[in-house]
Amino acid sequence: MALIPNPVAMRGRILRCWLVAYRAPAASVQARLPAGLEAIEHRGWGFYHWVVCEIGALRPAFLPPLFGITYRHAALRILCRARLATGGMQSGLYFLHSTCQAPPGMATAGNLLTDFRFHAAPIRMASRGTATRLEIGGPCPASWTLDPAAPLRDRDQSPFRSVEEAIRCLKYPPHALCPGKADTLRVLSIRRDESHWLSAPVGVLDASCPEMDAAEASLEMAFEVAPIDYEWGRAQRLPLAQI
């Protein structure tokens, strides 16, 4: 848990980004969430979301891009929600862990200031023709070869009735959620121009993810996201409902 959660708003630009969604029985996904969070279900399934991206000009929001850094970030998240004391619901993502290929000390700083659970390891992105090979090193390895020119996966086992339904349901709210002390929820919201959010399904030529194998999770769908400016706001604390 972060000691000083998100004290300063940060800005950057997503230069390259891919999302890979897996499905697993909702009960097994729920078992990996802390108290206060509920897995979002669709016809009995819960969802893991991998992101692999390169972020440019990351810096405190009050500084110009010249002072930013470029680094690579990969993370495994769970699509979830929380019941608030106000009676409403807050949806978002819970970060199980993150990997960063970044300047020395960034993973340590990230763990002091965020709930993203960083460790440092190589993240490789290699393109050949229309395909891109993604490889995450370290203690949570994974790899995929994604190709927008390749056919999408067979959907016979999918809980979604169409590609359009899958796209709609798998688009996650841009909030990172983490239960805090005294029945509170820490919410880190991302600000972006939704009119510039463009993602397209891509074919998966191969995939290797021991963590998803151990979770008995099946690959659902992958997407490539167009470059977009992001701002990570300061963390807010919201009261959780008493259950």
2, pLDDT greater than 70 = no
Q: Which two tokens stand for residue 130?
A: 């229309």
Residue range 10-239, CATH number: 2.40.400.10
pLDDT in tens, 184-241: 999 999 999 999 999 999 999 999 999 999 999 999 999 999 999 999 999 899 999 9
Higher-confidence residue of 74 and 243: namely: 74
pLDDT in tens, 116-169: 999 999 999 999 999 999 999 999 999 999 999 999 988 889 999 999 999 999
How far is Cα 4 from Cα 18, in angstroms, rounded to an integer?
29
142 torsion bin: left (phi>0), alpha (psi -120 to 50), beta (else): beta
Give residue 126's pLDDT.
98
Give residue 112's pLDDT.
86
pLDDT in tens, 8-45: 999 999 999 999 999 999 999 999 999 999 999 999 99
Give residue 4's pLDDT.
64
How far is Cα 49 from Cα 221, in angstroms, rounded to an integer?
10
Residue 109 binned pLDDT confidence (cut-offs 50, 70, 90): confident
Residue with tokens 């969430």: 33
Task: Give the closest residue to 55 by CA, choosing from 106, 92, 8, 11.
Answer: 11
Give residue 103's pLDDT.
85
Coil vs helix vs strand at 20: strand
On whether the CB atoms of residues 139 and 131 are closer than 8 A, the answer is: no
Give residue 150's pLDDT.
97
Sign of CA dihedral 63, 64, 65, 68: negative
Give residue 47's pLDDT.
99
Give residue 118's pLDDT.
94
pLDDT in tens, 168-186: 999 998 999 999 888 999 9
List of E strands, the chain: 10-25, 38-39, 45-60, 69-83, 89-101, 118-120, 123-128, 131-136, 142-147, 175-179, 184-191, 199-208, 218-225, 228-232, 236-239
1, pLDDT greater than 70 = no
How far is Cα 32 from Cα 50, in angstroms, rounded to an integer?
15
Domain boundaries, the chain: 10-239
Give residue 6's pLDDT.
80
Q: Which residues contact 152 (CB under 8 A, 6 or more apart)?
A: 163, 201, 203, 221
Give residue 3's pLDDT.
57
Q: What is the mean pLDDT of residues 98-116?
A: 89
